[in-house]
């Protein structure tokens, strides 16, 4: 548990032995959320094949409560950007993200979704989905193995577990001032307009001479 | 299938006025091709498709090529009179070949199981709005591939039933496979740049701040 419950751990354990289970609303809420993450059912390239393998019987994403792939963004909690995002596809990805209800999370799966990967210098490939929407977990790999996607899924569960519902530092999705929708880029004459959302995309400044 | 020069002779006999040229390919493939003129391209294509000996009924592939203007240096022996004597001297002369765009069609015969026959069409120059006759009315399979050539090279195919962009979005104005295409500058973050990318990434570099002490050393 990332957030310490306001009750002594030893006492709680002792009470549990007597058949009394003490918990907090936050803990219960996050426990429910983290064990029923419904991903949005869409794939973009070869990473999607690994995603399918992860959901199938051998790797079995159902063990972590993430097997309910939804064909509608209205019912999804998690967007797995699995594959190369072309510039022609990027506005649709942002639109799907905007249509998802809060709380929502994004896993950027594979080299292409992170940075454009091997197609980075192409005229038609977006250099990372984090130019337009915020990303929670990045998985490197080309494509990442199902174990890597499971690892990312567990990292996301850890993140959800640590989100506070009240007080200072509460989760971003409960803060009305934090935007949950982002402008959809338009098709321009030479590139997407804008080429990146400055509110979301903060590339590290490289200091060189 | 007959040899290409035999086919050329037969076409010229069947279609008066058709100007054909055999483009040799001296590489290991040794796959010579037939250059058609714009005015008779459609008629020649129909001949290739319908001639009972050829029956090239299947156009498997259409692709575009961008040929830039190039200069070829040639050494020529010239006779000149030097100091009253006639001497043979070597001179280098530059020959300029103007650039053009090209569409290449690969034709096969399903009926006779032979092929490929390579057919080329060349535009007059590389200027925006270069035109070629469309062969889609002859081979329907060329439709999407001619659209792709239009999208990526900017060749307009006259007689194409539905000439729109196919890969890039409709608002896009460039032709990315042309050799003079310059992609938009989005190289803000390049962790391991090299070659051309390094040059582009350098424009986004932030100068390294002066380390402690260097200012003092400079002051002394």
The reported pLDDT for the residue numbered A74 is 95
Burial class (CB in 10 A: 0-12, 13-18, 19+), B5: exposed
Torsion of CA B192, B197, B200, B204, to 10 degrees: -10
| Domain count along chain B | 1
Alpha carbon distance A181, A102 (integer Å): 10
Burial class (CB in 10 A: 0-12, 13-18, 19+), B84: exposed
Question: How far B209 CA lies from chain A's nearest CA (Å)?
Answer: 8
The reported pLDDT for the residue numbered A169 is 83
Pairwise CB contact (< 8 Å): A209 & B205: yes
**B58-64: average pLDDT:** 94
Separation of CA A99 from chain center: 15
Pairwise CB contact (< 8 Å): B171 & A209: no
**How many C-beta neighbours within 10 Å does residue B50 have?**
12
**A67-79: average pLDDT:** 93
> Per-residue pLDDT tens for A17-44?
999 988 889 989 999 999 999 999 999 9
| pLDDT grade for A1, boundaries at 50, 70 and 90 | very low
pTM score, whole prediction: 0.84
Dihedral pair phi/psi, residue A26, rounded to 5°: -60, -45
B192 to chain A: nearest residue by CA? A206
DSSP classification of residue B42: H
**How many C-beta neighbours within 10 Å does residue B104 have?**
17
Half-sphere exposure of A16 (CA within 13 A, CB side): 10
The reported pLDDT for the residue numbered B190 is 81
The reported pLDDT for the residue numbered B211 is 64
Give long-range contacts, CB 8 A cutoff, 24+ apart: B209-215: B209/A207
> In the CATH hierarchy, which fold is given to the domain comprising A35-164?
Rossmann fold (3.40.50)
Q: Where are the domains of chain A?
A: 35-164
**B2-12: average pLDDT:** 92
Nearest beta carbon to residue A123 from set B183, B197, B209 = B183
- The total number of residues shown for chain B amounts to 220
Alpha carbon distance B39, B25 (integer Å): 25
pLDDT score of B210 more than 90: no
Residue B140: give its domain's CATH number: 3.30.460.80
Question: How far A7 CA lies from chain B's nearest CA (Å)?
Answer: 47
Q: What residues pair up with A96 in beta bridges, in sequence order?
A: none
ipTM: 0.78
| pLDDT grade for A157, boundaries at 50, 70 and 90 | very high
The CA-CA-CA angle for residues A147, A151, A153, to 5°, reads: 115
Chain B residue numbers with beta carbons less than 8 Å from the beta carbon of A208 are 202, 205, 208
B177 to chain A: nearest residue by CA? A123
**B142-163: average pLDDT:** 94
Backbone conformation region of residue A90, classed left if phi is above 0, alpha if psi is from -120 to 50, else beta: alpha
The reported pLDDT for the residue numbered B183 is 86
Between the CA of residue A1 and those of A6, A31, A33, what are the distances in Å? 12, 10, 14
Q: Does B176 touch chain A (CB under 8 A)?
A: yes
Chain B residue numbers with beta carbons less than 8 Å from the beta carbon of A127 are 186, 189
Alpha carbon distance B142, B149 (integer Å): 10
Helical spans, DSSP H, in chain B:
4-14, 41-50, 142-153, 195-202, 214-219
B114 assigned to some structural domain: yes
**What DSSP string runs through A35-54?**
T---BB----SHHHHHHHHH
Contacts of B6 (CB under 8 A, 6+ apart): none
Q: For residue B129, what are the domain limits?
A: 4-66+100-163
Pick from A206, A207, A209 the residue to mutate for testing the B interface (most B CBs within 10 Å).
Answer: A206
A114 to chain B: nearest residue by CA? B189
């Amino acid at each position: 548990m990332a957030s310490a419950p306001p009750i002594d751990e030893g006492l709680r354990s002792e009470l549990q032995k007597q058949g009394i289970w003490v918990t907090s609303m936050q803990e219960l809420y996050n426990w429910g959320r983290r064990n029923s993450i419904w991903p949005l059912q869409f794939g973009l390239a070869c990473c999607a094949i690994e995603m399918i393998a992860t959901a199938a019987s051998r790797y079995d994403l159902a063990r972590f409560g993430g097997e309910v792939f939804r064909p509608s963004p209205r019912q999804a909690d998690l967007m797995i950007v699995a594959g190369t995002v072309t510039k022609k596809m990027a506005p649709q990805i942002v639109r799907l993200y905007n249509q998802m209800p809060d709380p929502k999370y994004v896993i950027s799966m594979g080299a292409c979704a992170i940075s454009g990967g091997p197609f980075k210098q192409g005229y038609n490939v977006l250099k990372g989905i984090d130019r337009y929407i915020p990303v929670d977990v990045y998985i490197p790999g080309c494509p990442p193995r199902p174990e890597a996607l499971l690892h990312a899924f567990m990292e996301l569960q850890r993140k959800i577990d640590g989100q506070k519902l009240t007080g200072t530092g509460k989760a971003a999705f409960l803060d009305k001032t934090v935007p949950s929708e982002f402008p959809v880029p338009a098709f321009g004459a030479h590139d997407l307009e804008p080429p990146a959302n400055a509110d979301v995309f903060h590339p590290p400044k490289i200091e060189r001479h | 299938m007959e040899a290409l020069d035999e086919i050329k002779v037969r076409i010229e006999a069947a279609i008066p006025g058709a100007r054909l040229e055999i483009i040799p390919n001296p590489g290991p493939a040794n796959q010579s091709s037939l250059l058609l003129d714009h005015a008779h391209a459609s008629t020649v294509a129909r001949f290739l498709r319908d001639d009972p000996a050829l029956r090239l009924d299947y156009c498997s592939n259409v692709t575009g090529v961008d040929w830039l203007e190039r200069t070829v240096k040639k050494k020529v022996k010239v006779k000149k009179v030097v100091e009253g004597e006639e001497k043979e001297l070597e001179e280098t002369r530059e020959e300029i070949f103007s650039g053009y765009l090209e569409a290449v069609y690969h034709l096969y015969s399903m009926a006779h199981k032979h092929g490929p026959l390579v057919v080329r069409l060349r535009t007059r120059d590389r200027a925006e709005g270069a035109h070629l006759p469309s062969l889609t009315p002859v081979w329907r399979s060329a439709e999407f591939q001619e659209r792709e050539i239009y999208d990526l090279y900017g060749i307009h195919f006259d007689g194409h039933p539905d000439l729109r962009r196919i890969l890039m979005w409709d608002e896009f104005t460039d032709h990315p496979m042309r050799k003079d295409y310059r992609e938009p500058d989005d190289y803000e973050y390049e962790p391991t740049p090299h070659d051309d990318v390094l040059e582009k990434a350098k424009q986004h570099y932030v100068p390294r701040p002066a380390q402690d002490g260097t200012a003092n050393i400079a002051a002394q």
